[in-house]
Amino acid sequence: MTEVNDTEGSEPSGDTRPVVRSLHRAVCVPLGEAPDDRAFMRVFYPAAPTGSDSERLTGTIPPMRSDAPMPVVVFLGGVNIGSDTYRWLAVELATRGVLAVTFDHVGALTPGTSGLSPGLDLGALVPDAFGTRPSATVVGPVLEALQEIAADGLLAGLVDCDRVALGGHSAGATVALLNARPEWFPGVRAVFSYAGHTVPVDALGHPPDTVLAVGPVPALLVSGELDGIISASADRYGVEPGSVGHSPVHRTFTDGVHAPTAAYEVVLAGANHLAICNPEDPTTARGFLESTPMVDPQLSRSAFVEVLAAFLARHLGADPSADPVAVAAGLPAVASVDSRG
């Protein structure tokens, strides 16, 4: 594992929020074959600029420590979607006292193809193997790197590796939901997703109508009303594309999260599959299948962050009285909210 002693992030915006900077690391992915055996991660943190010569010469700015140690979000992106499209989210979380980790990893997608991947071992998802080992290939190395970062260096003492939430978008959300298991990844206490679900593709060989179990931690599932990509992909699950009633995210909420685990489902009004991507990259992934959003994506992203912040505050221990349902119900960009547990 290598570390770049440099930071990047947001510039002061004229408001009272902290400056956000980021730390870069490269980690080994044991299940990958060279050259696909590396992932490149960034840890976003609230910084406390001092104006020192060291900052001027190195670009390295020390962190704010008033809230140390801080909970962590490890975010897994969608297939062929670069992590920079989620940088806005990482910055938002860091301003709210949550360290945010993103990464880029090129790996196998399907037999014979590769691309930007959230890190997925498909062999761990077939019926005989599911539940016996992690299907996430990058989460473990990232969490190991965080242990090292927490112990030594710029962010020493700032990282609370016992308060981790896995989160993700699209396929990355699926990987997060399926692998949010403390028995595999100690310290994981919550999971959240946007446009992700745990209904397996037919090719994996599960019986019809299977919904794979979400990890046994509190779960927040967010989706858009107008998800064109999930709709266009329905035939992967034995359903005619565009069929009314194909709602794998809702089925994950009803059948994939098992009692007594707390679960929340939030549907964003007029939002599509890529609503949380900013900027969206039209040169890659499957955005050409997307529905036209009926709500300004900025409003969708703002609603997503507000609900997510309440969820993390409640379930990572910062504010057990935080109420994601009440927050969601008060937002015009939210079409519906449900919860149980």
Residue 171 φ/ψ region, left for φ over 0, alpha for ψ in the -120 to 50 degree band, beta for the rest: alpha
Please tell me whether the peptide bond between 35 and the residue prior to it is cis, using omega within 30 degrees of 0: yes
Asked if the model's pLDDT at residue 284 lies above 60, the reply is: yes
According to DSSP, residue 298 is labeled H
Q: What is the mean pLDDT of residues 203-220?
A: 97
pLDDT at residue 318 in the model: 76
Q: Which domains does the chain have, with CATH numbers?
A: 2-340 (3.40.50.1820)
Q: Which residue has the higher pLDDT, 238 or 329?
A: 329
Check: CB of residue 91 under 8 Å from CB of residue 42.
Answer: no
Check: CB of residue 26 under 8 Å from CB of residue 36.
Answer: no
Q: Say which amino acid occupies 216.
A: P
pLDDT at residue 234 in the model: 87
Check: CB of residue 200 under 8 Å from CB of residue 178.
Answer: no
pLDDT at residue 8 in the model: 43
- DSSP annotation string for 23-81: EEEEEE-TTSPTTS-EEEEEEEEEE-----HHHHHH---PBP-TT-SEEEEEEEPPTT-
Asked if the model's pLDDT at residue 9 lies above 80, the reply is: no
Q: Which among 3, 26, 22, 27 is positioned nearest to 11, based on CA atoms?
A: 22
Can you tell me the distance from the alpha carbon of 292 to that of 303, in angstroms, rounded to the nearest whole number? 18
pLDDT at residue 241 in the model: 79
Question: Which pTM value belongs to this model?
Answer: 0.94
Q: Which among 199, 39, 12, 172 is positioned nearest to 106, based on CA atoms?
A: 39
Confidence bin at 15 (pLDDT 50/70/90): low
**pLDDT tens readout for residues 100-158:** 999 999 998 887 889 999 999 999 999 999 999 999 999 999 999 999 999 999 999 99
| Structure tokens given for 339 | 């919860």
Q: Which residue has the higher pLDDT, 132 or 242?
A: 132
pLDDT at residue 4 in the model: 44
pLDDT at residue 12 in the model: 38
Residue 157 φ/ψ region, left for φ over 0, alpha for ψ in the -120 to 50 degree band, beta for the rest: left
Q: Looking at the DSSP assignment, which residues form a beta bridge with residue 190?
A: 165
Q: Percentage of the chain with pLDDT > 90?
A: 86
**pLDDT tens readout for residues 52-66:** 999 999 999 999 999
pLDDT at residue 14 in the model: 52
